[in-house]
């Protein structure tokens, strides 16, 4: 079904402490910080502004889902990509990246749709579906359970299958 990826909602279960200092579930429900674009849907789970992060730190996500994490922090996301055939794969990346605060990361001169680089180290694991991780010199097909470490390099994604691909990623602020 076209647009199915836009319906993706991640459930966030958060554990904390009760008034007696015992571990307890303090939150259980859909993520509140979310963005649905033609290229992907971001469900942001957690964000921190510093590393190391105090275990009692509050979630620092704002109301708008953006790709770049805080300058000294990280963001944990669940993202779902539709099949390329469902949207304008060649031209739609600029708007999607701009909508998620990463418009300046796009390398439109590279000749590869969606090629971009952010100031992050991304730890990515495929949850369902399949997607190609693309670099300037090649690509590899990723399937459920496959993990990728992306270290601030130019990259793109391509879902050439027929079902959405969902991945979990931690975007960690990095410096060059």
What pLDDT does residue 1 have? 73
Check which CATH number belongs to the domain holding 94 and give it. Answer: 2.60.120.10
Domain, as residue range, for 37:
4-173
Per-residue pLDDT of the chain (176 residues; tens, 9 = 90+): 789 999 999 999 999 999 999 999 999 999 999 999 999 999 999 999 999 999 989 999 999 999 999 999 999 999 999 999 999 999 999 999 999 999 999 998 879 999 999 999 999 999 999 999 999 999 999 999 999 999 999 999 999 999 999 999 999 999 98
What pLDDT does residue 109 have? 83
- Record the pTM: 0.94
171: its two tokens? 């975007």
CA 59/CA 61 separation, integer angstroms:
6
The residues, ordered by sequence, that sit 6+ positions from 44 with a Cβ below 8 Å of its Cβ are 31, 33, 34, 61, 65, 75, 76, 77
Distance from the Cα of residue 87 to its chain's centroid? 19
Number of domains in the chain: 1
């Amino acid at each position: 079904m076209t647009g199915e990826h836009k319906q993706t909602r991640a459930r966030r279960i958060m554990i904390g402490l009760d008034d007696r200092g015992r571990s307890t579930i303090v939150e259980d429900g859909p993520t509140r910080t979310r963005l649905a674009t033609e290229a992907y849907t971001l469900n942001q789970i957690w964000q921190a502004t510093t590393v190391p992060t105090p275990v009692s730190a509050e979630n620092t996500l704002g109301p708008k889902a953006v790709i770049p994490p805080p300058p000294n922090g990280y963001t944990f996301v669940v993202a779902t990509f539709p099949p390329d055939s469902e949207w304008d794969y060649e031209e739609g990346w600029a708007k999607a990246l701009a909508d998620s605060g990463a418009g300046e990361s796009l390398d439109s001169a590279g000749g590869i749709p969606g090629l971009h680089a952010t100031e992050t180290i991304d730890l990515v694991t495929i949850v369902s579906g399949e997607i190609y991780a693309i670099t300037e010199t090649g690509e590899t097909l990723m399937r459920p359970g496959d993990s990728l470490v992306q270290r601030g390099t130019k990259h793109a994604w391509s879902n050439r299958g027929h079902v959405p691909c969902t991945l979990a990623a931690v975007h960690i602020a990095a410096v060059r």
